[in-house]
Structure 1
Amino acid sequence: MKAYQVLDFDGHLELTDVPVPVPTDGQILIKTEACGLNFADLLMRKGTYQDTPEPPFTLGLEVCGTVEQLGPNAQGLEIGDRVAVFGGRGGLAEYGVFPAELCCKVGPDMPAEAAAGFQVAYGTSHLALTHRAKLKAGETLVVLGAAGGVGLTAVEVGKLLGATVIAFARGASKVETAKQAGADFAYDSDDVDIREVVKSHGGADVVYDPIGGDQFKSVLRACNREARVIIIGFASGDVPQIAANHILVKNITVIGFYWGGYLKFAPDVLRASLEELMNWYDEGKLKPHVSHVFPLERSKEALDILEARKSTGKVVVKP
């Protein structure tokens, strides 16, 4: 089969021929329909992600596919089932093996492009805003990077939870994308003073930040008392240092959030979140946004589009 692999951390990526994997205890083999790309894939190809394996390995954290084979003791699935799974790697290939217990069944009406990029993006926003920040109806939610893979879902989920959403994105087209996702107010982060804009709307009760850097510093100074700031990632490449005295004076809570970690220490929490999200999708409440779809042989181009921030929503690869 064909697989897009990291051969080393010096930038050597290659579409290679490798054997079709065989599922072992508790695993299934799926035929890949689509693979959703994430910022973590960019870090993994450089060896800087927290769960990066040793090369060579196949990129692709999350996939949608059809069950082709059941390994010993693989329960809850049958051959022919459509599933989505966050496997951590292995998605950029024609076939992949994954633990059956991590798979989520996908209905026949959900397109592969939507299902492949659904779990990480929507799961991150839903679990961060509900389980960690406990966002309440009527509160003001500020979303940075609001047209990106996770940011756009934070806008959608925040609106469904009853918040007033202030979105910041880069460029007019991305601002418009955030508005279409339900943002009450949307601004180009390159053209405005984030602190002043948020203050003009009464301040932030919850901040969703996948960007870091100067944007984090600006919005932190516009937080209301007892605000919750959720750190999702550092797409800017700048890990900001926090002024602890400001946190103290306003009783602000800064929350670290890593969605994938719940697979190891609280999988039930994650599964309950995904079940609610799938119900929302079935009810027509969520509209996954995919801006780019590439074939497997153009995986490098897909990753480059993601790294250059030329995408909105998700970038998907289809073998």
Structure 2
Amino acid sequence: MKAYQVTSHDTDPSVTEVPTPSPEAGEIRVEIETCGLNFADLLMVKGTYQDTPELPFTLGMEVAGRVDALGDGVTGFNVGDRVAVFGGQGGLAEYGCFDARRAVRLPDDMPMEDAAAFQIAYGTSHVALDHRANLQTGETLLVLGAAGGVGLTAVEIGKLMGATVVACARGAAKLEAAKAAGADHLIDAETQDIRTEMKALGGADVVYDPVGGEQFEAAFRSCKPEARLLPIGFASGDVPQIKSNHLLVKNLSVLGLYWGGYLQFRPEVITQSLKTLLEWYSEGKLKPHVSHVLPLEQAAEGLELLRSRKSTGKVVIKVTA
């Protein structure tokens, strides 16, 4: 089968032929139709992600497709079922074997492109805002990187939870995408000062930050007393250092969020979250934003869209027709 593999952290990944895997006990084999790309894939290529697999490995953290084979002991799934899986790796291939406990059955009306764009982006934002930050109706939510894969979902979910959402992104096109997702106020990070604009709006109760760097610093200084800050990632490449004395002055809380980590110690958090999110999708309350769908042979172009921040929403690779 074809797979987009990393064989060295010093060379670019490439599409290569590898043996088709067989499912072990507790696993399902999925004929993969689509795979969502994530910023973490870029880190894995360089070997700097916290869960980078041993070389060689196949990129692709979240997939959608059909169950092709069942390993011993698997119940609850049948061959032919439409599923989405967060596997952590192995998604940019024609077939993949995954722990059946990580799979969710898809609604019949959910396109595979939506399914591949759904789990990590929506799951991260929902667990962050609901489980970690306990976002309340009427609070002000500031979303940095608001036109990115997770940023747009934070805008959508924040609005569903009753918050006033302030979207910060670079340029008119990205801000327009955030506005379409439900943002109440817009801040152009290229031309406007985040702290000044947020002060004019009364400050932030919750900050959702997949960017880091200078934007985090500005957002930090625009927080209301008892605000909660959510470091989701560091797309800027700059991990901010937080001075604890600044936290105590306003009684601020910094709440880290690594969505995939819950699979190791509290998987029910993710399971319940995805159940809620899929219900919202079926009710028409969520609409995944996929800016690019590319074939497997153009996976490198898809990753470059993330690296250069030229995408809005998710980039999806169509593995099989």
- Provide the TM-score with structure 1 as the length reference: 0.99
Aligned mates of 1:60, 1:11 — CA distance in 2: 17
Q: Deviations over 1:283-313 (max 9, x none)?
A: 0000100000100011111111111100000
AA partner of residue 269 (structure 1) = V
RMSD: 0.6
CA drift at 1:206: 0.3
1:211 paired to 2:208? no
How far does residue 119 in structure 1 lie from its aligned partner after superposition?
0.4
| Cross-structure match for 1:19 | 19
Deviation at 1:245, TM superposition (A): 1.5
Structure 2 residue aligned with 1:238: 238
Distance across 2 between alignment mates of 1:235 and 1:255: 18
1:317 matches 2:321: no
Q: What's the counterpart of residue 108 of structure 1?
A: 108
Does the CA-based 8 Å contact 1:75-1:101 persist in structure 2? no
Distance 1:107 1:160 in 2: 21
In the alignment, structure 1 residue 71 sits paired with structure 2 residue 71: yes
1:5 and 1:14 in contact (8 A); partners too: yes
CA distance in 1, matches of 2:228, 2:252: 6
Amino acid at match of 1:139: E
Secondary structure in 2 matching 1:256: coil
**Comparing 196-205 and 240-249, the one that deviates more:** 240-249
Q: Which residue of 2 aligns with 1:126?
A: 126
SS at match of 1:65: strand
In structure 2, distance between residues paired with 1:239 and 1:146: 18
Runs of 4+ in 1 over 6 A off after TM superposition: none
Structure 2 portions without partners, runs of 5+: none
Unaligned runs of 5+ in 1: none
Q: Counterparts of 2:50 and 2:284 in 1: how far apart (Å)?
A: 35
- Mapping for residues 110-259 of structure 1, pairs under 5 Å: 110-259=110-259
Separation in 2, partners of 1:256, 1:93: 31
CA distance, structure 2, for counterparts of residue 58 and residue 86 of structure 1: 14
SS at structure 1 position matched to 2:149: coil
Deviation per CA, 1:123-155: give whole Å up to 9, x if none. Answer: 000000000000000000000000000000000
Q: Percent identity?
A: 64
1:237-288 residue CA offsets vs partner (Å, 9 max, x unmatched) = 0001112221101000001110000011000111000000000000000010
Q: Which residue of structure 2 aligns with residue 260 of structure 1?
A: 260
Provide the secondary structure at the position in 2 that maps to 1:263: helix
What is the SS of the residue equivalent to 1:124? Answer: helix
**One-letter code of the match for 2:283?**
E
**1:253 partner amino acid:** S
- The number of aligned residues is 319
How far apart are the structure 2 equivalents of 1:151 and 1:314? 10
3-state SS of 1:84 partner: strand
User: For the residues of structure 2 that align with 1:123 and 1:60, how far apart are their CA atoms?
Assistant: 17
Structure 1 distance, partners of 2:11, 2:149, is 23
Q: Does 1:7 align with 2:4?
A: no
